[in-house]
Chains A and B, each alone.
Chain A
Amino acid sequence: MSKRSGSDRTGEDSREKENSAQRLGRREFVKLVGTSGVAVSTVLAGEGLLQAAAPRPVLDPQQPADAATSPLVGPGPVRMMLDINGAPQTLVAEPRLTLLDALRDRLYLTGAKKVCDRGTCGACTVIIDGKAMYSCTTLAIDVAQRPGAPAAKITTIEGLAPEGELHPVSACWVDNDAEQCGFCTSGFVMAAKAYLDAHPQPAYEDVKAALGGNLCRCGTYMGIRHAVVDAGGRISGGKA
C-alpha cells in the first residue's frame, strides 16, 4: 500500500536532520529531558554526550525554564515560544507535550485532528517550515524557539485563510465533495497544500502517490483526487 512506502516519510526524515544541525537535536533532547532509559544511555555513551546529562538537574516547576534561552529543560513545565500562523504563541508545558496537543488543548486550534496519534493517518498534518508533518509525532519543544535557533514556522489549517474565507485548496475540497464526516479533511487539505506548493500542477495519477500519507474512513478518495488536480489548476491558472 502506497501510504506505507518510505517516500511518504522523507519529509520527516529530512526534518530530523535539520533539527540536529540547526538546534538541539532530538537525541540530545531525549537525554536532557531525562526520559532516557538504559538503551538510550548506551547509545549516547559512545557519542560523548552522556556526561552532560548527569547529574540531572531538578528544575523548580514554579519557575519554569525558558526553552528559548536554556538548553537544559525539563522534566517539569517549560516556557516555549512557538511561531504559529505567523504569530508568536507562548505556553508553559512539559517537554513531552506533542505539537498536536499543544495546538488542540493549549491554543484551541482544533483543525488538526487526533485520530491515530501514532504518525499513521495524517489527520494531524500541519506545515512546518514548508513541509507537511504529522503534529502527533512532533514534540512542541522540538519546533519551539531554542538557544541559537528560531522557532520553526508552523502553519495550521486555521492559518490558510481568514475565518469566513476559503483557501483555494479548501474551496476545491468543497466543490469536489472531497469530504464526508470531515475528520480527515484538515490533514488532507494541509498535505495537499504542501504538495501543491512544490508541485503546482499535478496530474491525476500523481495525486495518488502524493497523498499516500493520509487516511480517510468515509471513502472520499475519489473527490480528493479531483480536488487536488482542480486546486493545482486554479492556483497555477491564476483563478484563485
Chain B
Amino acid sequence: MADYKWPAADKRELIGKRISRVDGPAKASGRATYSYDVHREGMLFGRMVLSPHAHAKIKSINTAAAEKMPGVKAVVAFPSIGPGFEVLWAGQELVAVAAETEDQSRDAARAVRIDYEVLPHLVNDNVTPAKAGDRANKPDVASEGDADAGFAKSEVVHEGEYGNAIVTHCCLESHGQVTEWQGDQLTVWASTQAVSSIGGEYVTALTKAGVPVTAANVRILTPMMGGGFGSKFQADRWGIACALLSKKSGRPVKMMLERDHELMVAGMRPSLYAKVKVGATKDGTLTAWSSESWGTAGPEESSQGAIPYVFQIPNRKRTHTPILTNVGPARAWRAPNHPQYALVTMGALDDLAAKLNMDPLQLFLKNISLVPGGAPTAATGPGGAPAFSLARVYTEELNKAAELMDWQKKWHPRGDQTPGPIKRGVGLSIHTWSGRGHASNCNCTIHPDGSVEVSLASQDLGVGTRTIIGIVAAETLGLPLNGVTVNIGDSKYPQSGASGGSTTSGGVSSSTRLASTNALNQLLAKVAPSLGAKPDDLEAVGGNIRVAADPSKAITWKQACAKLGTTPVSVTTSNQSPEGRSLMSQQVGGAQMAEVSVDVETGIVRVEKMVAVQDCGLVLDVKTAESQVYGALIMGVCYAVYEEKIMDQQTGRMLNADMEFYKLAGINDIGELVVHMMTGPGYDERGVIGLSEPPTVSPGAAIANAVANAIGVRVPNLPLTPDKVLAALGKGEMA
C-alpha cells in the first residue's frame, strides 16, 4: 500500500532533482496560447475610456457619436458609472466599446464625450501625517514592553528615515480577457491568478448589472498566464464590462489593458516611509525601537506599518498612519508589505551597526534569538534531524551567504576609502514568510490504457506549478514525468486555491500527492491477486508494479492498468485532512547579501553581485525553484534601483506609464547572482512550503545597505536613483 508521506531522499526519482518545466517547449517555440492570444470566431476588440482626472465628479456621458463609428458593435458604461460618480484616480474605467478591429475600437473610444467636475487631488506618495490634513487616516498604534525604558537602557541610539516609493506590477501579459456567451453560458479566457474563484464575481456583478447568470454556467479558462505577481486575483471591472459588451453585441470580445492603463491602475505596491529610532547596548544587544510611519495604498486604507520586521526587538512601539490619495488603487505585490518593512528595519539596524563600529553580520547574529520562535535549541525533530527553529535557519543561512559573498573580505567600515570615483560596498538583510499551502482538491484518473491525468482548477503564473504537479504525480505512481498529463487552468476541474502568498506549491503538491496515492492504492488492489500478493506488499517503481520484498515479481504499468478492464480509476481528494496538512508546513527564512559599486560623481548604482540563501522546506524541483529565486533577486534589483511610479503633481496623472520610462532592469543591469537552496536534514522533512514571495523581500534592504557601506552615507529612499545618491552625498560627511 502506497504511503502518503513524501518519499525519503534515497527513494526520490523526480522530487528534489533538476527538472525542466513541462510547458517550456510550448513557450520557447511560441506555440503556448495565453488568454491574450485566444481568437474566437467573430471576435470583437474592446477598448476602455479612462478618466484623465485623478479626482473628479462625472457630469455627463455621451456615447452617441461613438456608437455610430465604423465597426462599432457595442458601447457600455461600466457598472455603477454615470453622472455623479466620483472618480478617485486617473485611469479609472468609465465606458467600454467593442468594434471589429483594434484600431476601430480605439477610434470609437476617442469619440466618447465625458464632462467632469474636476476636484482637488493628492497624488504625492510621501505626505507626512502632519501635512495630510483630512487625508490622514486614523493612526494604528502598537507597542510591546516599555520603549522609553528600553531607550533609557540603550548606550547607543540611532535615528534615521527610510522610504519605499510606489512601484507597479507591470505584468508582461496585461490584465484582461476574452468573453463569449453561448446562450446563457459564459466562457471567460482570463489572465488570472484565481481560476477557481473569479467565476463567482462574474455571477454577482453581472446579475447586479441586469444580466443574470448562474455559477454553473460560468467557465473560467487560463491556458497559460503571462505573470501576475499579486495583481490578478479578481474578475475586475474590465472583466465584467467585457462580458457586458459580449452580451450586448452577441459576439465574443477580447479586451486586454493597454500598457499605459495597466501601469496606471492595474498594479501598485503601497509606499511606506518611516522615522525610526533604535537603541542597543555597546556590545550590540538590541534594546528598544520606536517608529512613526506613513504611506499610501491609494484611496484605500490598506497601507500598513508592522515594523520592526523579523527582529522582535524588546521594548518597542510604532505608529502607522495610512494616507488616502489619488495615486491609484493598490494591489497585493509579491510579498505584500514585507519588502517595505525589510528596508526600514534592516536599514535602521545597518545604520545602528555603523554607529556601533560593528559588522552588521555580527549585529544580526548577536540578536538572532529575537526572531520569531526565539533562540535555537538543541532539540531534534523527526528522524533525528534538527528541530525547526527560524533562528537556526537564519544562522546557517547567514553563514552560508557570507561564504558565497566572501563577506569577511569584502565588508569594510562605512565608506570605501579606495581612491577614485567608484566605491564598492556590501549589505545584507533577512526575511520571512508563511507560505503555507492553500486548500486544494485534485482528481487523479488512471486510464485502462495506462495514461494518467491529474486535474485541478489551479493556474501556472509562470512559476512552474504545472511542472511540480506533474513531478508529484509521476513520483507517486512510479512513472516518468511524461507519463502524466497535468490539467489545470479550467474552473471545471476540482477547486484549488488562488495563487497568491506563496500558497500554491504546498496546496497543489499535497492534494496531488493524496489523490495520486489514493488512485494508486485502488489500482494496487486490482492487480494484487495477479501478483499473488496483498496490495500492502506492492509498490509502483520505475514504470512497474512490483512486490516490494521481491522485485522480480513485477508487471509493467501498462499491464497493471489493463486489468482495470474498461473502467478507469478516478479519485478526487482534498488536502484539508491531517494527512494533507502533514505534507506541508509554513514559515521560511532567507538571507541575502548584495555587493554594489557606486559612482560618486554620477550617482549611478550598479548591483555587482547578489547572494540569496533560501529555505522552503522540501524542494520539489531544484531547477524551477532556483529560477524563482533568481527572478526574485532581479525583481528586487528593479525596485531597489530603477522602478518608481512617478506622478505629476499638477495633473494627477502617472508620468511614466510606458515601459521606456517605467524602468525595469535589463539583462546587463543585474550583475552576478548566486542562489543557494537550503535542503537536506532539518529542511526536507518539514514538507513543502511556498517560495515565490520570500526571496523578493530582502533585495531592496540589502542593496540599500550595500550602497551605504560603499559611499558612507545612507540614501534613505528607494529607488536608489542618481539624484537621490548625489543628494545624500551632498549632505554626508564623506565623498
Contact = CB atoms under 8 A, between A and B. Distances in A.
Given A180-B462, A223-B627, A174 B667 contact: no
B722 to A, nearest CB: 12
B227 A183 contact: yes
B400 interface: no
Contact of B29 (A114, A167, A184): A167
A2 B669 contact: yes
Given A113-B36, A116-B659, A177-B20, A182 B669 contact: no
A158 B630 CA distance: 29
Contacts of B627: 177, 180, 220, 222-223
A223 B171 contact: no
A111 B172 CA distance: 14
Contacts of B463: 180
A158 B37 CA distance: 14
Contacts of A185: 27-28, 30
A167 B638 CA distance: 31
Nearest to B171: A217
B173 A113 contact: yes
Given A174-B25, A177-B627, A158 B30 contact: yes
Contacts of A99: none
A97 B660 CA distance: 22
A123 interface: yes
Contacts of A117: 258-259
B564 interface: no
A123 B30 contact: no
B126 to A, nearest CB: 25
Contacts of B28: 166, 170-171, 173-174, 178-179, 182, 185, 189
A1 interface: yes
A79 to B, nearest CB: 16
Contacts of B21: 174, 177, 179
Contacts of A123: 172
B663 A182 contact: no
Nearest to A171: B28
A181 interface: yes
Nearest to A162: B29
Interface in B3-42: 20-21, 23-34, 36-37, 39
B29 A118 contact: no
A118 B670 CA distance: 24
A224 to B, nearest CB: 6
Nearest to A160: B29
Contacts of B659: 115-116, 118, 120-121, 215
Contact of B666 (A3, A110, A115, A163): A3
A41 to B, nearest CB: 22
B225 interface: yes
A181 B173 contact: yes
Contact of A181 (B29, B30, B259, B461): B461
A1 B669 contact: yes
A96 interface: yes
A184 B20 CA distance: 18
Contacts of A189: 28, 30
Nearest to A104: B37
B172 A121 contact: yes
B172 A2 contact: no
Interface in A175-232: 175, 177-186, 189, 207-209, 211-212, 214-225
A81 interface: no
A141 interface: no
Contacts of B630: 219-223
A217 to B, nearest CB: 5
B349 interface: no
A52 interface: no
Nearest to B673: A222
Contacts, number: 198
Nearest to B37: A110
B633 A181 contact: no
B665 interface: yes
A118 B673 contact: no
Interface in B653-667: 658-660, 663-667
Contacts of B36: 110, 113-114
B213 to A, nearest CB: 28
Contact of B667 (A113, A156, A173, A225): A225
Contacts of A160: 29-30
Most buried by A among B25, B626, B627, B628: B627
A130 B88 CA distance: 49
B226 interface: yes
A118 B632 contact: no
Given A114-B36, A180-B463, A183-B172, A209 B668 contact: yes
Contact of B24 (A4, A156, A179, A224): A179
A17 B194 CA distance: 48
Contacts of B174: 115
Given A215-B659, A221-B670, A1 B642 contact: yes
Contact of B172 (A101, A173, A181, A207): A181
B102 interface: yes
Given A218-B227, A221-B667, A115 B30 contact: no
A224 B667 contact: yes
Nearest to B461: A181
Contacts of B668: 1-3, 208-209, 212
A221 B660 contact: no
B634 A219 contact: yes
B635 interface: yes
A174 B20 contact: yes
Contact of A170 (B25, B39, B632): B25
A158 B102 CA distance: 23
Contacts of B624: 177
Contacts of A183: 34, 171-173, 226-227, 462
A227 to B, nearest CB: 9
A47 interface: no
Contacts of A4: 660
Contact of A118 (B39, B45, B225, B660): B660
Contact of A120 (B34, B39, B658, B665): B658
Contacts of A121: 172, 659
B224 interface: yes
A113 B39 CA distance: 14
Given A1-B668, A101-B102, A166-B25, A181 B462 contact: yes
B579 interface: no
A108 B666 contact: no
B30 A219 contact: no
Contacts of A220: 627, 630-631
Nearest to B670: A221
Contacts of B31: 111, 158, 163
Nearest to B660: A120
Given A209-B668, A223-B630, A177 B24 contact: yes
**Complex A-B, nearest 10 residue pairs according to Cβ-Cβ distance, in ascending order:** A111-B30, A181-B462, A219-B634, A219-B631, A182-B27, A157-B30, A183-B226, A110-B37, A2-B668, A3-B666
21 contacts: A1-B669, A3-B666, A94-B101, A111-B31, A114-B36, A116-B660, A118-B658, A121-B659, A171-B25, A177-B624, A177-B627, A178-B28, A180-B627, A181-B226, A182-B224, A182-B462, A186-B30, A207-B667, A217-B171, A219-B630, A221-B667
Given A110-B30, A179-B21, 17 more contacts: A110-B34, A110-B36, A113-B36, A163-B29, A163-B31, A174-B20, A177-B21, A181-B225, A181-B227, A182-B26, A183-B226, A209-B668, A214-B666, A216-B634, A220-B630, A221-B630, A221-B634
